Amino acid sequence: MKHMMSQVEPKRRLAVLTSGGDAPGMNAAIRAVVRTALDRGVKVYAIYEGYRGMVEGGSRIRPLTWDAVGGILQRGGTIIGTARCEVFRTRAGRLQAAANLLAHRIDSLVVIGGDGSLAGAVSFHDEWPELVAELAAHGQLPQGSANPPPLSIAGIAGSIDNDIIGTDMTIGADTALHRITEAIDAISSTAASHQRTFIVEVMGRHCGYLALMGALASGADWVLIPSDPPQGADWEERMCTVLRTGRAAGRRDSIVVVAEGACDRQGNRITCERLKKILEERLQEEVRVTILGHIQRGGPPSAFDRNLSTILGYAAVDALLQTPPGTEPFLIGMRGNRITRLPLRECVAQSQAVTQAILNREFERAMTLRGPNYQAAFRTLRTLVRALPHEPEPGQQRLRLAVLHSGAPAPGMNTAVRAAVRIGIDKGHIMLGVRNGFQGLIAGDVEELNWMSVNGWAPLGGAELGTNRKVPNGKDFYAIARTLDAHQVQGILMIGGWSGYEAMYQLFLARDHFPTFNIPLVCVPATIDNDLPGSELSIGADTALNSIVEAVDKIKQSAVASRRCFVVEVMGHYCGYLAQMSGLATGAERVYLPEEGITLNDLQADVTALRTAFQHGKRLSVMIRSENAHPRYTTSFLTTLFAEEGAGIFDVRQAILGHLQQGGNPTPFDRILATRLAATSIDFLITEASRASSAAVFLGLQGGQVHFHHLDDLPRLADWSHHRPKQQWWLDLRPIAKVMAQPAPRSCFHSFAGEQPIPENRIDE
Ligand code: ADP
């Protein structure tokens, strides 16, 4: 027994802090860190006000309870505060910070912050043995902390700028893009009414991510970013020419997006005042400036930021507990929807190298360091912001490429068509729009689209070309062949959902009988259901997810005074993606998925869990049911069952969210995805059609990169009877959701003897 005891490793003690600029989503990360630690039976502290709290100690370092982090998922900012702290940059400050950690026997830190905060974490880790030795030499080691273990640190990138290398996205960047696109969409409508030019300044001293993606997502007309200053001495005139030509072509609004750190090639700041003066003098029109400022940091975090933060917080604790004490600090990040663990030191060094390259005016190096996706986005933007397309090259082969939709409308469809049409025309080709999906192809409802036909489509929800679920059959093929012949179509781009994939597959199979079908065919995934093979995400799913999350936030707020359980039904067809991800983002207690079904045993367990929770003081519970989770255990059945079994303890309401999930303007993520997939597809069609090939593919994002699959691979990758992919990456997130949503583990109530946990925030969720 004694021997066994000596084998047991001492329990780790964790602390979490947020530092530097605040970022929406930090609260979700704190919640995930706290709940994962408590779930593993590990004590967890909050260090209030970042490194300042670590240096000051005392009441700034306090344990957090399970319930203290309830009800914070939807709140922007950080409940444990953040600060900049000059003292922590000094050795004396760090010595004090070490003493304070040792006083609480904290041996593992989760640091959530920007590159400064993470750089501070690495130095602190390196210095730790010396700091401990110095405290020991001066007899200042707190009681009970002789021979302390080495310090372990997990870093999480929290910064709205998305300026940390080692993760695709930093916490807060997606939400900041939401604020930026909302603002630019609003500004565009007033600018269009008065035919005005607006300059919009967005954050980003060294990183142009927000400006670049904000401009791409909102269809802005010119953008200035720090890492790629305008080329040539005549850039001012070129900018004015683009805006002037755009006006002449019929654009009513002109929007110039500028990052706050934008400079010219000589290193002179391009301020809003400078731009305003240039534009007013040369365009002879009124120019208005809007500096978005701190609006970009505020507001509720987007669904993506809540889920990213939750996953990273969970993974950070998991990694800290799995690695030996004192392990080299690591960054927990996300690349291509996969959690990554990379050396923090290198990530910080590379991120700081980008800033340094910009300061040294080594712009190409800065762009290279930012990675290929960023560069590709920049190239696409350059084409899309053009006022008018390049003229076709003399003698150039001008292809005739058709674009159409199929399936239910998905926000982002218009964005994709706009990008496809403009990129196609800019490369000298003729773009044809097919109205009303395959019905239009059968009826010959096809027209040529020009540059201005798609003007203003970037932010527009719905599907301007029209869409429906028609899947052509044998009888329709002659009519389709006639249309393709009549318009001499040399390639088809279908942007849509399952019915579109099925339709394109039918055309592909009918090729032997219909030679006109022997042209390149491309399917781009666009459906809110996210149920298409070959892509981890489809266009529209992020918008629907955000609509659901906003609706559930409101539903939860409506119930503050009662003891109530909501059964919320969400769309998804036979794919539980929207249910799973909205459950994670709203802190739902239970999610019912078509992939799992529902059994009587499940329902019995759920009733018991609900009764127990409400009897112990719970006030609000959310159960999310995917529309086809079970054919007979419907949403109203669940509602009746819970109401009957919970009578006298809690009441139950159902909310079927319905079509609000298909509507709305696309989120920045969907707009960027739509643009990226459309750009790749058009490049593909142009290459293949010029070679008179008949490649037939569907494409999508996998591991963060665009991948192509042959259409004849569709049956292998799809679960045809359920209309969903055979492999669904997001199912792996279920354990995280379960940890977050479970009732507080019993062990949490006993672990804080002698110390004052912070007051409970809210008892729900
Ligand atoms: P961000 O983390 O958002 O980049 P800052 O660069 O302001 O924000 O850093 C936040 C805090 O991190 C600083 O106020 C300081 O306390 C700490 N910090 C930053 N750089 C270092 C460093 N090199 N050494 C020690 N602490 C640092």
Domain at 627, CATH number: 3.40.50.460
Cβ neighbour number for residue 248 with a 10 Å cutoff: 10
- Residue 130 contacts by C-beta under 8 Å, 6 or more apart in sequence? none
Q: Is the pLDDT of residue 390 over 90?
A: no
Whose Cα sits closest to atom 23 in ligand 1? 120
- What pLDDT does 8 receive? 55
Cα–ligand 1 centroid distance for 164 (angstroms): 14
Residue 73 resides in a domain? yes
Residue 574 resides in a domain? yes
Report how far residue 11's alpha carbon sits from residue 32's, in angstroms, rounded to the nearest whole number: 19
Nearest alpha-carbon partner for 674 in 259, 380, 375? 380
Please name every residue paired with 16 in a beta bridge, in sequence order, or none if there are none. 46, 110
Percentage of the chain exceeding pLDDT 70: 96
Average pLDDT over residues 685-703: 95
- Residue 667 contacts by C-beta under 8 Å, 6 or more apart in sequence? 178, 181, 302, 411, 542, 543, 546
Report how far residue 354's alpha carbon sits from residue 208's, in angstroms, rounded to the nearest whole number: 11
Measured CA angle at 352 (ends 349, 358), to 5 deg: 140
Q: Which residue has the tokens 């809690």?
A: 650
Residue 343 resides in a domain? no
Same domain membership, residue 497 and residue 606: no
Residue 217 resides in a domain? yes
Same domain membership, residue 406 and residue 535: yes
Residues annotated catalytic, as ranges? 161
- Contact yes or no for 341/58 (Cβ under 8 A): no
Nearest alpha-carbon partner for 743 in 575, 583, 611, 601? 611
Residue 348 resides in a domain? no
Dihedral of CA 324/328/332/337: which sign?
Answer: negative
Dihedral of CA 343/345/348/351: which sign?
Answer: negative
Is the whole-model pTM more than 0.85? yes
Per the structure, how many domains does the chain have?
Answer: 4
Same domain membership, residue 243 and residue 157: no
Cα–ligand 1 centroid distance for 17 (angstroms): 13
Whose Cα sits closest to atom 22 in ligand 1? 120
Residue 186 resides in a domain? yes
Q: Verify whether ligand 1 is closer than 6 Å to residue 18 (CB atom).
A: no
Whose Cα sits closest to atom 16 in ligand 1? 85
Counting from 1 in the atom list of ligand 1, the atom nearest the Cα of 115 is 4
b or e along 85-110 (b: 16 or more beta carbons within 10 Å of the residue's beta carbon)? beebeeeebbbbbbbbbbbbbbbbbb
Q: Is the pLDDT of residue 472 over 70?
A: yes
Same domain membership, residue 65 and residue 152: yes
Counting from 1 in the atom list of ligand 1, the atom nearest the Cα of 113 is 2
pLDDT (tens digit per residue) in 54-67? 999 999 999 999 99
Residue 474 CB-density burial (10 A; 0-12 exposed, 13-18 middle, 19+ buried)? exposed
Whose Cα sits closest to atom 24 in ligand 1? 120
Same domain membership, residue 148 and residue 36: yes
Whose Cα sits closest to atom 14 in ligand 1? 84
Q: Is the pLDDT of residue 459 over 90?
A: yes
Same domain membership, residue 158 and residue 20: yes
Cα–ligand 1 centroid distance for 528 (angstroms): 40
- What pLDDT does 9 receive? 62
Residue 476 resides in a domain? yes
Q: Verify whether ligand 1 is closer than 6 Å to residue 89 (CB atom).
A: yes
Same domain membership, residue 101 and residue 236: no
Q: Verify whether ligand 1 is closer than 6 Å to residue 85 (CB atom).
A: yes
Report how far residue 68's alpha carbon sits from residue 744's, in angstroms, rounded to the nearest whole number: 11
Average pLDDT over residues 312-333: 97
Same domain membership, residue 507 and residue 424: yes
Q: Verify whether ligand 1 is closer than 6 Å to residue 181 (CB atom).
A: no
The CATH number of whichever domain residue 440 belongs to comes to: 3.40.50.450
Nearest alpha-carbon partner for 128 in 107, 113, 144? 107
Same domain membership, residue 327 and residue 261: no
Confidence of residue 758 (pLDDT cuts 50, 70, 90): very low
Same domain membership, residue 74 and residue 38: yes
Same domain membership, residue 143 and residue 47: yes
Residue-range definition of the domain harbouring residue 419: 400-539+671-712
- What pLDDT does 761 receive? 37
Cα of 582 vs its chain's centroid, Å: 13
- What pLDDT does 263 receive? 93
pLDDT (tens digit per residue) in 491-517? 999 999 999 999 999 999 999 999 999
Q: Verify whether ligand 1 is closer than 6 Å to residue 436 (CB atom).
A: no
Average pLDDT over residues 662-690: 95
Q: Verify whether ligand 1 is closer than 6 Å to residue 53 (CB atom).
A: no
Report how far residue 524's alpha carbon sits from residue 316's, in angstroms, rounded to the nearest whole number: 35
Same domain membership, residue 40 and residue 20: yes
Residue 715 CB-density burial (10 A; 0-12 exposed, 13-18 middle, 19+ buried)? exposed
Whose Cα sits closest to atom 18 in ligand 1? 120
Q: Verify whether ligand 1 is closer than 6 Å to residue 123 (CB atom).
A: yes
Residue 484 resides in a domain? yes
Q: Verify whether ligand 1 is closer than 6 Å to residue 117 (CB atom).
A: yes
